[in-house]
Amino acid sequence: MKKKYAKLKKVLFYVFIALFLVVMLFPFYWQVVTSLRYQRDISSMTLLPDLSDLNYTSYVTIFTKRPFARYIMNSLGISLITMVLCITVTSLAAYALARLRFKGKPFILGLSLCVSMFPAIAVISPMYMFISNIGLRNTWWGLVIPYMTFGIPLSLWYLTTFFKSIPLELEEAAKIDGCSNIQAFTKVVLPLAIPGMFTTAILIFIQAWNEYLFSLTINTDDTARTIPVGITMFRGEYTIPWVENAAAIVTVTVPLAIIVLILQKRIISGLTSGAVKG
Amino acid sequence: MSKRFRRVLAVMLSGAMVFSMAACSKSSSSSGDAGSSSDSKEEGEAGDSGEASDEVVTIVYAGGTDSTGATTEIIEAFEESHPNIKIQRVDMPADQGAQHDAYVTSFAAGGTDYDVIDSNVTWPAEFAEAGYILPIDTLLERDGFDLSSFVPGYVDAYTFKGQIWGIPCHTNAGILFYRTDLVETPPATWDELYEMAEKYTSEGKIKYGHAMQAAQYEGLVCNAMEFIASEGGKVVDDDGNIIINNDGVVKGLETMSKIALAPSSPDNLTTLKESECIDLFSAGDVLFMRGWPSAYANVTNPETSKVVDNVGVAALPAGSEGSFGCIGGWGVMINKNTEHVEEAWEFVKFKAGVEGQKINAITGAQPPLNQDLYQDEEIVEERPFFELLVKAVDSGVPRPVSPVWTELSEIMQIEISKVVSGTEDAKKAVETMDTEMKAIVDNQ
Amino acid sequence: MRKKRLVMNAARREALTGYLMTAPALILIFAVALFPVLRTFYLSTFDLRLNNASLSKTYTTHNLDLEYYADTFFRLNKRLAYVSEGEEKEAASVAQSLLESINQTQEELLAREELTDSYKVVYDAVLSMKSLNNDELTVREIEQQSAEMLKSNIDDVIARLEPYKDVENVDAAIEIARDMESSLREPNFVGFNNYKVLFSNDRLGRSLVNTFIFVVFAVFFELCIGILLGLLMNKVFVGRGIVRASILIPWSIPAAVSALMWRFMYDGEYGIISNLFESIGLFSSASDILTTKSGALFGLIFADIWKTSPYMGLMILAGLQTIDAGLYEAATIDGANKIQQFFKVTLPLLRPSILVALVFRTLDTFKVFDLVSVMTNGGPSNSTETISVYAYKTMFANMNFGLGSAIAVVMFVVLAVICVIYVKVFGADLFKTERES
């Protein structure tokens, strides 16, 4: 009886998951469908495109009309550098904030948050001047620097809470064994913090990947543009090529999903329960 | 006094007039020393298209993406005839707002990123007042660039504070698209349009009557200006004073809201922008559409449209004072801080001149502004529908030229949006606009 | 005694390490981000409008833009010269005397030696149509007295030309004279005037209300769905890798792009989602979703929830990872069922993660811009304008940077208050080190 019940529960669970995914992914699915139609048919509301006459051309034209491959490379590069630098810089700071005793911690956390409290549009003009003056416009670094300032507060706060949640006992034990603060950090805490750092890394990565306004104004050269701006380049002044737009969305989303699929194992750890108990 | 300086001075004083005594003594004494100090290097460099050195100058030209290939062709043609000037093209998003912001950010930082930019018809006054762009009167005068054969009204849009700040490149005014398979003669008045729309939809011949741009954005104001002008209403007088509170404006907006709220109009009219209108028309769901000439290419393209062979264009319907199409479109302006004025000017002349407009007409399907070109055989052959357009865009109504236009427009967008969605009557909206717009002009 | 010193040394060393470790992050924030923030505060106290030549920069003293002055002076001179040689004798004599008077004024205005020298350079550049693009050279401080003198001279020119408006070139001369006044750059520090303007107008209030509605609904549902997603992703089941990766898809589509995608799906005529909503009875007509205020707000919130729930989910998931599985075992032994476990064990331990997620989601949602500007641009009839859109329109469309900066500062203050409340409610322990207690 109980076994049967468990089985039913399992089936229900999968049904729930399936439903959930359908709801979550339907808008994206609709882009896939739209991307395979002809522009003249975009008013159609059938759930499948005309399978006998699929239109793949937009997947080609997005690469031929504009340097879309270049946009993808730029986005990848900029987001990756932003991610790596942010995590490196803030994991040190966050560890100190979580574990070490010194004055001014609320100040540091608060100050970093203040930066996130201004709308991007208020910041964009001085940021533009700054990047311009140091000659980094139309380079990856021209966007990495502003993106880091958005990423740092988030990852600082996030990693701080994460480090705090790592059991203190492990570290104390390491210190008793003669590790310094830094060693305790690199040898003991860091490995345990991997899931949190990966999660934060994904957050920062996608945040940089999604940014539009700074990318639009700072990197205006086609060789340095990123995807969000790149996609808007397909639009005409008065027309929106929905099919190309959808094809571009699908093209950039699928590889990203695959990257996440590969990385996701890291965001779950067989964390600490065993270690602490032992 | 340097040679170059004297030449420029002579040009500036062209015409029969001679500089007055006082001014002359002043200017020659002040420039005498300065001139000799600066005539060393810079003299040979820039400009003097005839006697220029071999040095190649690169001009950065920014503008919205152009998928027709006309821009590339113009640049190639220009570089061929001007071997000393290279054009570096920077593609911007075609969306007006995004482009505007990118330019403002760059110019506000004193940037010299772009030497020549594409300019929407609503920008010159604003950019001129901000000191971002160069007035080109002297250059026009010096080189005898002829603007007299341009369709009237367009150059005015680039005239501000008595100076000309750029040159428009193509004709662009609101026109009426209609379905030739259903309608034989397009409606001559707004009332006729209303009647026809009601008739055809109630007979079930088509889903909806008229599609226009009625979302809350600049396009709404363009549409409203057409209704207002057709009833003889005026928003701003020649001296820049707000005179919106008059019967013509109220009547125009009443006609507009009558059509917007008609049972035959699409339910989602207040969300329509150009692209949604084109989609509706291309799907064969509307009888009439107010659009820009460039939409013709979309609705007659079998890739994007289902009504390819049934498209007619005509002048917009008339009100009691006639038929008017709102002037839109793009021109070219020169960055005030450019280091290569002469070269930039050469390119502007080419792009807005006969050759540029011709390429733009044949490859880009943009109707030329130079009326002589409508007789050009090649163009007539390639683009037969231009002839229809010429008639349709005959009477253009420009939007007021004002450095605070976007602010004024914003108020109009909000209030007219209320009118076309039926939440406020025209009279009340006009009164609100009157007060708020006056406040902005007074504050300037 | 010695022991105490040792402890103190250790404490000092620990603090030093702390500062060293936080330094890189702090330096970056100070170097890059703090300047824009402080500048915004500063600008909000000026009447700064980019589309007005005399207000396009901040000035605290009286200045003269030599370049602008030289240009208008040259043109005015030219026009007056035309008039003075024209047929109309009366106008000609007036123009002649005005010519003398403006040159007289110029001499007095530029009497200071270094000004005279600079003016020569500038004037030469203007005549040869070269831009100097050098504020240090062209914008110079002058005495208030001189500024007033120039102004009264200009007024005089306009007043005396006025009667001859119909004579050729006079109208143009008047216009140029008016323009000449813009070469004066007077102090445009206005203190709190921008704020006064803001608060005297109900647009700020309305956009704040819209923003609050948006934030409250969006963040609340995102949190709920996020917790659900987090729990789901935390479970061990076949295919969870795929589920995790696909749940993140909505979030990986840039807002500027996904907003357009939603506009397409909300289309009152051909939109799949709007038609779906109509058929399940959520809206009486598919077109309501973007043409009515409540519909449009709903549409915006729905799209935002769809996009950012995964983000919440990911943050919650990472929080769940830190919870010791042993605690659940203990709770099970104590006889707590799954639901009790969730409220007694999971939720309290998730508190820090929830705090951070809430803080950052609230900040981001409050600043929502791409979504609104692409989908409704504040319409219909301005009923969905959020504060960021308001700030944007003020700054970039209307080019009023003073007022726009003031809006940004108001946002800053509101957000700061919200953050303080969050921290107070959800736990100040973030700021403490466990060992301190």
Q: How far apart are CA B199 and CA B208, in angstroms?
A: 10
- Sequence-separated contacts (24+) of A136-140 with Cβ below 8 Å: A137/A218, A137/A219, A137/A220, A137/B113, A138/A218, A138/A219, A138/A220, A138/A221, A138/A223, A138/A224, A139/A219, A139/A224, A140/A74, A140/A77, A140/A78, A140/A81, A140/A224
Chain A touched by C197 (CB under 8 Å): no
- Residue B193 has a pLDDT of 97
pLDDT for B27 beyond 60: no
The residue among C435, C416, C437, C418 whose CA lies nearest residue C426 is: C418
Evaluate whether B111 touches B309 at the Cβ level (below 8 Å). Answer: no
The beta-carbon neighbor of C380 closest among B138, B279, B417 is B417
Q: Which of B162, B266, B152 is nearest to B214 (CA)?
A: B266
Answer whether B283 sits within 8 Å of C179, measured CB to CB: no
Residue A271 confidence (pLDDT):
43
Per-residue pLDDT for B259 more than 90?
yes
Q: What is the pLDDT of residues B280-296, one digit of tens each?
A: 999 999 999 999 988 98
Interface test with C, best of B20, B286, B338 (most C CBs within 10 A): B20
**Which residues does chain C have within 8 Å of residue A203's beta carbon, measured at their own beta carbons?**
311, 314-315
Closest C-alpha among B396, B355, B381 to residue B368: B355
Going from the C-alpha of B283 to that of each of A41, A54, B178, B385, C3, the distances in angstroms are: 8, 19, 13, 21, 87
Among the partner residues A65, A129, A239, nearest to B275 by beta-carbon distance: A239
Whether C138 and C67 have beta carbons less than 8 Å apart is answered as yes
Structure tokens at A113: 């948050």
- The pTM for the full model equals 0.89
pLDDT band at B393 (very low <50, low <70, confident <90, very high): low
Give burial (CB, 10 Å; 0-12/13-18/19+) of B130: buried
Nearest-Cα distance to chain B for A249, in Å, is 17
> Looking at beta carbons, which residues of chain C come within 8 Å of A182?
17
Of C52, C133, C268, the CB nearest to B129: C52
Q: Do A123 and C249 touch (CB under 8 A)?
A: no
Q: What is the ipTM of this complex?
A: 0.90
List, for residues B67-95, the tens digit of each pLDDT value. 888 999 999 999 999 999 999 999 999 88
The verdict on a CB contact (< 8 Å) between B421 and C269 is no
Residue B176: pLDDT over 90: yes
**Distances in Å between the alpha carbon of C145 and those of A161, B161, C62?**
61, 28, 9
Between A92, A119, A200, which is nearest C388 by CB? A119
Confidence category of residue A250, pLDDT binned at 50, 70, 90: very high
Q: Where are the alpha helices (DSSP H) in chain A?
A: 2-35, 57-65, 68-99, 105-115, 120-133, 140-165, 168-176, 181-183, 190-210, 213-218, 227-232, 242-267, 273-277
Rounded (10°) CA dihedral C118, C123, C129, C132: 10
**How many angstroms separate the CA atoms of A143 and C360, rounded?**
21
Among A99, A119, A162, whose Cβ lies nearest the Cβ of C367?
A: A119
Residue C275, pLDDT score: 93
- Nearest Cβ partner for A40 among B106, B292, B306: B306
**Contact residues on chain A for B64, CB-CB shorter than 8 A:** 237
CA distance B348 to A255: 43
Residues of A in contact with C433 (CB under 8 A): 98-101, 105
Q: What pLDDT is attached to residue B162?
A: 86
Task: Name the interface residues of B facing A (CB cutoff 8 Å).
Answer: 62, 64-65, 67, 90-96, 98, 101-102, 105-106, 108-109, 111, 113, 273-275, 278-279, 282-283, 285, 291-292, 294-295, 298, 302-306
Looking at the partner chain, which of B20, B269, B403 has a beta carbon nearest the beta carbon of C52?
B403
Judge: B67–A239 Cβ closer than 8 Å, yes or no: no
The beta-carbon neighbor of A233 closest among B91, B105, B278 is B91
- All partners of chain A with 3 or more CB pairs under 8 angstroms: B, C
* Higher per-residue confidence, C292 vs A266: C292
- A270 min Cα distance to partner chain C (Å): 8
C-beta separation of B266 from B208 below 8 A: yes
- B100–C396: do the CB atoms touch at under 8 Å? yes
Residues with Cβ within 8 Å of residue C395, at least 6 apart in sequence: A121, A122, C401, C404, C405
Least confident piece of the model among A209-218, B101-110, B172-181, B281-290: B101-110
Confirm if B162 and C175 have CB atoms less than 8 A apart. Answer: yes
B-chain residues within 8 Å CB-CB of A234? 65
Task: Quote the mean pLDDT of chain A.
Answer: 86
* H or E element at residue C243: helix C240-247
Q: Do C260 and A13 touch (CB under 8 A)?
A: no
- C50 to B217: CB separation less than 8 angstroms, yes or no: no
B chain contacts of residue A222, beta-carbon cutoff 8 Å: 90-91
**CA Rg value for chain A:** 24
Q: How far does Cα A135 stand from its chain's mean position?
A: 27
Task: Return the structure tokens found at A90.
Answer: 């803030």
* Neighbouring subunits of B (3+ Cβ pairs under 8 A): A, C
Choose the closest CB to C53 out of B12, B31, B131: B131
Q: How confident is the model at residue B392 (pLDDT cuts 50, 70, 90)?
A: low
Cβ(B100)–Cβ(B126) under 8 Å?
no
Evaluate the CA torsion angle B274, B275, B279, B282 in order and state its sign. positive
Q: Is-contact A203 A156, C-beta < 8 A?
A: no
pLDDT band at A274 (very low <50, low <70, confident <90, very high): very low
Contact C395, C48 (CB under 8 A): no
Q: Chain A within 8 Å of C28 (Cβ-Cβ)?
A: yes
- Residue C401 tokens read as 């940077």
Which positions in chain C touch B5 (Cβ < 8 Å)?
124, 127-128
pLDDT tens, residue by residue, A116-169: 888 888 888 888 888 988 999 999 999 999 999 889 999 999 898 888 888 778
Q: What is the pLDDT of residues C174-230, one digit of tens each?
A: 999 999 998 999 999 999 999 999 999 899 999 999 999 999 999 999 999 999 999
Segments of B273-386 assigned E as strands: 286-291, 311-314, 325-326, 330-334
Tell me which of B65, B91, B117, B122 to substitute to probe the interface with A (most A C-beta atoms closer than 10 Å).
B65
Closest CA to B402 of B237, B170, B231, B292: B237
Q: What DSSP character marks residue B209?
A: E
Q: What pLDDT score does B97 carry? A: 85
User: Which of C306, C322, C386 has the most A C-beta neighbours within 10 Å, making it the best mutation to test the interface with A?
Assistant: C322
Is the Cβ of C348 closer than 8 Å to some Cβ of chain A?
Answer: no
Q: Does C133 touch chain A (CB under 8 A)?
A: no
First-to-last alpha carbon distance for chain B, in angstroms, is 41
State how far residue B348 is from chain C, nearest Cα, in angstroms: 16
pLDDT in tens, chain C (437 residues): 566 666 778 888 888 888 998 999 888 888 888 888 889 999 999 999 988 888 888 999 999 999 999 999 999 999 999 999 988 889 999 999 999 999 999 999 998 888 999 999 999 988 887 878 788 888 999 999 999 999 999 999 999 999 998 888 998 999 999 999 989 999 999 999 999 999 998 999 999 999 999 999 999 999 999 999 999 888 888 888 888 888 889 998 999 999 999 999 999 889 999 999 999 999 999 899 989 999 999 999 999 999 999 999 988 988 888 787 788 888 888 888 888 888 888 888 888 888 889 999 999 999 999 999 999 888 888 899 999 999 999 998 888 999 999 999 999 999 999 988 988 887 656 655 544 43
DSSP assignment letter at B308: G
What pLDDT score does A67 carry? 92
- Taking only the tens place, the pLDDT of each residue in A154-195 is 999 989 888 888 877 877 888 788 887 778 777 787 778 888
Residues of chain A positioned with their CB less than 8 A from the CB of B91: 66, 222, 233
Q: Is the pLDDT of residue B15 over 60?
A: no
- Rounded to whole angstroms, the Cα distance separating C379 from C364 reads 21
- For the ranges A59-68, A171-180, B38-47, B187-196, the lowest mean pLDDT is seen at B38-47
* Residue B217 near chain C (CB below 8 Å): yes
* Class of domain A64-270 (CATH, top level): mainly alpha
Mutate to test the interface with C, among B221, B268, B411 (most CBs of C within 10 A): B268
Q: Do B31 and C124 touch (CB under 8 A)?
A: yes
For chain B, domains (ranges, CATH) are 57-171+328-390 (3.40.190.10), 175-326+404-443 (3.40.190.10)
Chain segment B328-346, per-residue pLDDT in tens: 999 999 999 999 999 999 9
Give the per-residue pLDDT at B239. 80
Cross-strand pairs, C341: none
pLDDT of residue C1: 54
The kind and range of the H/E element at C415 are helix C401-426
Please indicate if any CB of chain B lies within 8 Å of the CB of A43: yes
What CA–CA distance (Å, rounded) separates C10 from B442? 67
For residue B123, the model assigns a pLDDT of 94
Mean pLDDT of B233-245: 91
Contacts of B270 in chain C (CB under 8 A): 290-291, 379-380
For residue B420, what is the nearest residue in chain C, using CA coordinates? Answer: C381
- Mean pLDDT for A19-38 is 93
Min distance A82 CA to chain C CA atoms (Å): 13
Token code pair at residue A85: 């630098």
pLDDT the model gives residue C429: 62
Range(s) within chain A of domains with CATH label 1.10.3720.10: 64-270
The Cα–Cα gap between A216 and B69 comes to 23
State the count of interchain CB pairs (< 8 A) between A and C.
296
On the question of pLDDT at B63 being above 90, the answer is yes
pLDDT band at B152, cuts 50/70/90?
Answer: confident
